[in-house]
């Protein structure tokens, strides 16, 4: 087929776009793209080094982390010797997605069972609490800055619960921190006598941190062979030193993604088997948060229901591990689970190359703070008045959905944003609704639980070209709610997880509207699964 070629283990089918991509690759070679990336030359992306020169530590982190392996193995042995058999990671975005992926693709005899909490929904918090008896649990508090509101809230809640069960002398041995040097979390870890405070490389952004302490400490606890994992990453890194852009797998991948996006094919659609679906979640944050800014962006479309004979819009590029029949498409090799190390490096390098092609900085996140500021404003108002402002919600009906989506046009996408307890039953219901909307609109669809997606696709939602149609589903009130303590080891509180969740939903909606985005909010009392099923029955 015209436009088919291989670069290493990657197979590209580019059709009519092959010529434009060849020209872009020639320019990249002339610009000495690969040499300058490895030389940490910020001018590839922007004339000033801010949030670039101090964000390239991931380039050699696989090599540097090898020397950490013996200490990590000793640490894991000590944890097991204390009768701990499970891990609860408290974190968001880049701090949680790689560990969650490790836990899904590696099933290792003798490894600790790892779960992640990245939802402020009270029922989700309660479910994790029930499944983790403090005497058998190691809590990982994971945050680069230490100031992430969700992670801070999780820590204070679970520390108090563990303190009540274990006592002041033992509780610290059940907590560790992963953070940057000098962060507030480092100080908290010292103050509360954490078993260990792991200080990661501060020159790596969260979404590029999978092969740093943020990913490898949880991986070690699961029982992953870190040497094999890092060896695969280093093998890919060696291939990515090739200065011939068209022979460098990651450089070619990045130029293909960036150039296709400039030609309107900006929906990177991952078609993955269930066993590898978690890879899409990790790649979603990396690509969306890195490229969605300055009116541009590559939208990762993951876990989209497959529909027979669907008429896709002319805005897709398909990515799979087993080959896709559509064009343009990219096929990736995956030999075994340890190839995830190679995939981490491949996509990190490719994403920063895509940033070069799009002429943006792939390492900053200029629009993320807007939703946080709005949420803080609503929380401050709640603390003064005892109530949150009313949502701009409408009745959850087909007519309301159709009226909202009527403005959609070629190149748009529908983003389902669900602020509710993440369950398999709800996920299946939303996926059915998502499939229905895909069939009706022929638009790409995405789905994320809040506030999790705020740390993944939230940047792109406010920073791209404004072609999102945002459908918020918020459930209130929760079945049961829990106060968030002012401080660890104190009971006093003036806000609950339920209030925080709704404030985050309101804050994001307001930030989207302030950015000129199209948003509809459906506030649903009671069971969201039943509400969706009733809607679909109509």
Q: Token pair of 404, please?
A: 């909202």
Mean pLDDT, residues 175-193: 98
Scanning the structure block, which residue is given the tokens 């490790």?
Answer: 102
Model pLDDT for residues 248-263, shown as the tens digit of each residue: 999 999 999 999 999 9
Q: Which residues of 46-65 are buried (b: 16+ CB within 10 A; e: fewer)?
A: beeeebbeebbbbbebbeeb
In a domain, 403, yes or no: yes
| Contact call for residues 214 and 98 (beta carbons, < 8 A) | yes
Q: Judge whether residue 310 has pLDDT over 90.
A: no
Q: Are residues 432 and 512 in the same domain?
A: yes
Rounded average pLDDT over 388-392? 83
Q: Is the pLDDT of residue 308 over 80?
A: no
* 448 vs 371: CA distance, rounded Å: 16
Do the domain assignments include residue 193? yes
Residues 357-377 have a mean pLDDT of 95
Give a three-class secondary structure readout of 402-435: HHHHCCCCCCCEEEEEEECCCCHHHHHHHHHHHH
Banded pLDDT at 167 (limits 50, 70, 90): very high
For position 391, what pLDDT does the model report? Answer: 80
Same-domain check for residues 34 and 166: no
**What distance in Å separates the CA atoms of residue 215 and residue 115, rounded to the nearest whole number?**
14
| 27 and 91 belong to one structural domain | no
Mean pLDDT of 206-218: 98
pTM of the model: 0.97
pLDDT at 538: 84
User: Given a cut of 90, is residue 327 above it in pLDDT?
Assistant: no
Question: Is the CB of residue 41 less than 8 Å from the CB of residue 184?
Answer: no
Residues 18 and 104 in one domain: no
Residues 354, 373, single domain; the answer is no
CA–CA dist 29, 12 (Å, integer): 19
Q: Do 376 and 437 belong together in one domain?
A: yes
Q: Give CA–CA dist 146/156, Å, rounded.
A: 13
| Domain that includes residue 316, residue range | 4-39+244-358
Does residue 170 sit within a domain?
A: yes
| Residue 520 falls inside a structural domain | yes
CATH code of 307's domain:
3.40.50.10490
Spatial strand order of the sheet with 4-7 comes to 4-7, 10-13, 329-331, 316-320, 267-271, 299-301
Domain boundary among 358, 377, 393: 358
Which residue intervals of 193-248 are DSSP H helices? 213-222, 226-239
Percent of the chain surpassing pLDDT 70: 99
Give the mean pLDDT of 179-194: 98
| pLDDT of the residue at 390 | 77
Which residue among 295, 330, 358 closes a domain? 358
Are residues 313 and 213 both part of a single domain? Answer: no
In a domain? residue 62? no
Q: Could you say which of 194, 224, 254 is where a domain stops?
A: 224
**Within a domain: residue 65?**
no
Structure confidence by residue, pLDDT tens digits, 482-510: 999 999 988 899 999 999 999 999 999 99
Look at residue 328 and tell me if it is in a domain: yes
Q: Looking at the structure, do residues 188 and 335 belong to the same domain, yes or no?
A: no
Q: Which residues contact 386 (CB under 8 A, 6 or more apart)?
A: none
Coil, strand or helix: which one is 328?
A: coil
Mean pLDDT of all residues in 426-447: 95
Name the average pLDDT for the chain.
95
- In this predicted structure, the answer to whether residue 24 has a pLDDT above a threshold of 90 is yes
CA-CA distances (angstroms) from residue 395 to 420, 509, 528? 17, 17, 13
Q: So what's the pLDDT on residue 375?
A: 94
Are residues 187 and 96 part of one domain? yes
The residues, ordered by sequence, that sit 6+ positions from 125 with a Cβ below 8 Å of its Cβ are: 117, 119, 154, 157, 482, 497
Tell whether 278 and 388 lie within a shared domain.
Answer: no
Q: What is the pLDDT of residue 1?
A: 52
Query: Hey, how many other C-beta atoms are within 10 angstroms of the C-beta on 363?
Result: 25
372 and 349 belong to one structural domain: no
pLDDT of residue 479: 72
Token pair of 523, please?
A: 């506030």
* Lowest-pLDDT range of 19-33, 130-144, 298-312, 435-449: 298-312
Pair 466, 499 in one domain: yes
Count the domains in the chain: 3
Q: Is residue 53 part of a domain?
A: no
Determine contact, residues 345/62, Cβ cutoff 8 Å: yes
Q: Write out the H or E segment, with its range, that includes residue 518.
A: strand 518-525
């Amino acid at each position: 087929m015209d436009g088919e070629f291989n670069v290493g283990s990657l197979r590209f089918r580019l059709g009519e776009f092959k010529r434009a991509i060849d020209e872009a690759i020639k320019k990249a070679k002339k610009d000495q793209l690969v040499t300058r990336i490895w030389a940490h030359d910020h001018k590839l992306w922007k004339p000033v080094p801010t949030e670039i020169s101090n964000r390239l530590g991931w380039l050699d982190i696989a090599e540097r982390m090898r020397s950490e392996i013996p200490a990590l193995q000793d640490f894991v042995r000590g944890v097991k010797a204390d009768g701990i058999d499970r891990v609860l990671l408290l974190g968001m975005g880049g701090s949680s997605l790689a560990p969650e992926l490790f836990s899904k693709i590696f099933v290792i005899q003798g490894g600790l069972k790892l779960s992640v909490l990245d939802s402020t929904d009270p029922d989700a918090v309660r479910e994790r609490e029930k499944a983790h008896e403090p005497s058998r649990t190691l809590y990982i508090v994971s945050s680069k800055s230490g100031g992430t509101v969700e992670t801070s809230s999780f820590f204070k809640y679970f520390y108090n619960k563990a303190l009540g069960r274990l006592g002041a002398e033992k509780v610290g041995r059940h907590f560790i921190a992963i953070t940057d040097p000098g962060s507030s979390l480092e100080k908290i870890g010292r103050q509360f006598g954490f078993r260990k405070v792991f200080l990661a490389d501060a020159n790596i952004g969260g979404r590029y941190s999978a092969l740093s302490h943020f990913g490898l400490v949880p991986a070690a606890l699961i029982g992953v062979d870190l040497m094999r994992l890092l060896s695969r990453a280093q093998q890919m890194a060696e291939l990515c030193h090739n200065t011939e852009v068209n022979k460098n797998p990651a450089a070619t991948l990045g130029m293909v993604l960036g150039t296709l996006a400039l030609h309107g094919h900006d929906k990177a659609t991952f078609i993955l088997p269930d066993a590898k679906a978690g890879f899409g979640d990790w790649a979603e944050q990396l690509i969306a948060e890195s490229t969605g800014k300055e009116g541009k962006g590559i939208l990762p479309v993951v876990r989209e229901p497959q529909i027979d004979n669907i008429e896709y819009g002319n805005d897709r590029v398909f990515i799979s591990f087993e080959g896709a029949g559509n064009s343009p498409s990219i096929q990736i090799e995956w030999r075994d689970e340890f190839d995830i190390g190679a995939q981490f490096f491949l996509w990190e390098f490719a994403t920063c190359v895509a940033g070069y092609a799009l002429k943006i900085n792939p390492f900053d996140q200029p629009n993320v703070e807007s939703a946080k500021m709005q949420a803080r404003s609503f929380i401050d108002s709640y603390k003064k008045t005892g109530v949150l402002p009313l949502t701009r919600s409408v009745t959850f009906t087909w007519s309301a959905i159709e009226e909202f989506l009527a403005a959609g046009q070629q190149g748009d996408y529908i983003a389902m944003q669900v602020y509710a307890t993440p369950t398999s039953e709800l996920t299946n219901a939303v996926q059915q609704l998502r499939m229905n909307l895909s069939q009706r609109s022929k638009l790409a669809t995405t789905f994320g639980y809040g506030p999790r997606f705020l740390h993944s696709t939230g940047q792109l939602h406010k920073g791209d070209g404004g072609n999102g149609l945002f459908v918020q589903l918020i459930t209130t009130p929760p079945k049961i709610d829990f106060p968030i303590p002012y401080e660890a080891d104190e009971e006093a509180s003036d806000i609950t997880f339920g209030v925080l969740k709704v404030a985050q939903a309101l804050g994001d909606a307001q930030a989207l509207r302030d950015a000129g985005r199209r948003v509809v909010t459906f506030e649903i009392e009671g069971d969201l699964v039943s509400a969706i099923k009733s809607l679909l029955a109509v």
